[in-house]
Amino acid sequence: MIGSTIEIDLACLRHNFSKVRELVGQSAAVLAVVKSDAYGHGMVPVARELEYQGVEYFGVSNCREAVTLRQGGVRSPILLLLGVEEDELDYVIQYSLTPVIFRSDVAKAISASAVAAATKIPVHLKIDTGMGRLGVPYVEAESFFELISSLEGIRVEGILSHFAAADEHDKSFSKQQLQRFHQVLTLADNIGLTFRYAHIANSAGVIDLPDSYLQLVRPGLMLYGGPPSQELHHPINLEPVMTLKT
Q: What is the pLDDT of residue 1?
A: 54
Q: What is the pLDDT of residue 122?
A: 98
Cβ neighbours around 141 below 10 Å, total: 24
Blockwise average pLDDT, block size 10, the chain, 246 residues: 85 97 94 97 98 97 98 98 96 98 97 97 98 94 96 98 94 97 97 96 96 98 89 86 91
Q: Are 161 and 200 in contact (CB under 8 A)?
A: yes
Burial of 31 (C-beta count, 10 Å sphere; 0-12/13-18/19+): buried
Question: Cα-flanking dihedrals φ and ψ of residue 184, to 5°?
Answer: -65, -40
SS3 189: helix
Q: Are 131 and 161 in contact (CB under 8 A)?
A: yes
Render pLDDT for 127-181 as a digit per residue (tens, 0 to 9): 999 999 899 999 999 999 999 999 999 999 999 999 999 999 999 999 999 999 9
Q: Are 86 and 121 in contact (CB under 8 A)?
A: no
Residues 6+ apart with CB under 8 A from 142: 187, 191
Q: Are 124 and 197 in contact (CB under 8 A)?
A: yes
Angle between helices 141-150 and 172-190 (to 10 degrees): 40
The chain-wide mean pLDDT, for the chain, equals 95
Q: What is the pLDDT of residue 246?
A: 87
Dihedral (Cα; 123, 128, 129, 132), 10-degree rounding: 150
pTM of the model: 0.95
Residues 6+ apart with CB under 8 A from 65: 34, 35, 36, 37, 43
Measured between its terminal Cα atoms, the distance across the chain in Å is 11
For residue 174, the surrounding DSSP H or E stretch is helix 172-190
